[in-house]
Every structure is written in C-alpha cells, then in structure tokens.
A and B are shown apart, each in its own frame.
Chain A
Amino acid sequence: MIEFNNETLANGVGVIRPVGRLNMVSAPRLGANIDALISDGTVRLVVDLAGTSFIDSSGLGALITGLKKTRQAGGDLRLANPTAQITAVLEMTKLNKVLQPVSSVDGAYS
C-alpha cells in the first residue's frame, strides 16, 4: 500500500511524498502524480523519499520517466531524503549519478 502526500511550496516547487513501497503496483501512481503536477504547470519537482521504505526497478523507471518529462517541460525532478534501501539501489544501478539525491527538500533547489 502507498499514499501520496503532496504539496506545492511557496517558491513553486512541487513536493511528492510517497509513503510506503514503490513497486510494480504503486509506481504507475507515482507517474500519475508527476503527470498531474506537470499538467498544472508545476515542473520543478522534488520527490521526498523519507517515507518510502522500498523501491524496485519499476519505481526507478517512474522516477526516470518523471525526470525526462519535467526536463522536457523546462523543469527538473530531484530526490530528497532517500532511505537506506533506496540509497543502496541507486548506487547498485548507478542512478545516483543521474538522480543525485539530496538530504532535504529545502536543499533540492537551493
């Protein structure tokens, strides 16, 4: 099960907070959340992973798709607060070089 607690900050950055596991069941919902924000004109996004206990290759795929879509729209997608499993998976897949997580939402666009 997963929940998304999203908000838009005063500086216009959209924050997506998936709470639970990102896998083949929930990854499409992450993609839908990203798409909805881009459709609303919010193209600078942060995915706050503090509450995301697990990610698999489907979740990584949704993040990469979101990264490409936000960049095509003139924005970006950044990661904040990855948990231990996510940090390990980003390293194992070498996606830490592409997605470069930071330790706080505030630091994502500063």
Chain B
Amino acid sequence: MSSRFSVRAAAVPESLELIHELLEDVWKAEPGIEFLDRIRFETALIEVASNIIEHSRPAGTDPVRFVLAVECEPKRLFAEFTDNARPAGIDLSGAELPDGMSASGRGLALAKVALDQFSYAKEDAGNRWTLLCRRNSAAAAQQ
C-alpha cells in the first residue's frame, strides 16, 4: 500500500508554504509516520525547494516551475522534484557541511544528512531531484 501526493508550483519563495501544506496532508493521511522521520523528510524537502527557488534560471521564456511528487510507503518516504529550469548540473558529492561559524552553504548538505538517499539528475528539459527517507529511524537508531 502506498499513498501519493503532488503539487505544482512556481519557483518563488511563497511556494514553500505549499510544500508545508502538502506535508500536513501527508501526515494526516498517514498518521503512523514517526515524528523524527517527518522532521527529516520535511527539512530535506524544504532545503531542495529553497535551492530550486533561489538558484534556478529559466531555460527559455517560461518562468521556472516545479512539480513535487511525494509517495508514502510502509518502509519509506519518497519525494521527487522535477522542474523546467535550465539544467544546473549539481554535484551532490560536494555538498558537505561547512565550518560551524559559516553563515551559508548548509542547504544541500543538511538535506543529504537528513536523508537516506539523495540524488540529482540533469535532464534534457530541466532537473530532477529524488529524496528517500527510510521510516522508523528512531527505532533503528536505538538498535
């Protein structure tokens, strides 16, 4: 059994609220998701969305838009962002947490730490990010 949710939005800061609202719907529909898993997943989704909003450039005359699809399964939470922006060619292997007193450069590194799998792919007509969070992380941490 899995449940699916999605939202299509302009790549503008106000769209972050739509993601929080989408996740509220997910948590209501799937009340068995652990709090820590929700925190990890929501934190990572907002960091990726913020990266798209802040750094994307239009590929042509159309403004940048993204589609977020979320899938909730018994053992994992999965999200995929696709956008129509100019392909960015991001290398996630370089996303490392900066020095503690650095005021910037944490976004993708934080998403990477929060997730179990995180990937980016440059596509012909945009960008694709996939995010996976295995569920029951609190129980796993105690083992």
Q: Do A and B come from one complex?
A: yes
Binding site for B on A (CB under 8 A): 21, 23-25, 54, 56-58, 60-62, 64-65, 67-68, 84-85, 88-89, 92-95, 97-98
**Chain A, interface SS category:** helix
What is the size category of the interface that chain B forms with chain A? 20 to 34
Q: Does chain A have a CB within 8 A of B39? A: yes
Tell whether, in the assembled complex, residue A21 and residue B20 are in contact, meaning their CB atoms are under 8 Å apart. yes
Tell whether, in the assembled complex, residue B50 and residue A58 are in contact, meaning their CB atoms are under 8 Å apart. yes
Selected from B14, B42, B47, the residue in CB contact (under 8 A) with A85 is B42
Selected from A54, A61, A65, A92, the residue in CB contact (under 8 A) with B113 is A92
Binding site for A on B (CB under 8 A): 13-14, 16, 20, 35-36, 39-40, 42-43, 46-47, 50, 53-54, 97, 100-104, 106-107, 109-110, 113-114
Tell whether, in the assembled complex, residue A84 and residue B35 are in contact, meaning their CB atoms are under 8 Å apart. yes
A95–B103 Cα gap in the complex (Å)? 11
Which residue of A has the minimal Cβ distance to B46?
Answer: A56
A5–B50 Cα gap in the complex (Å)? 26
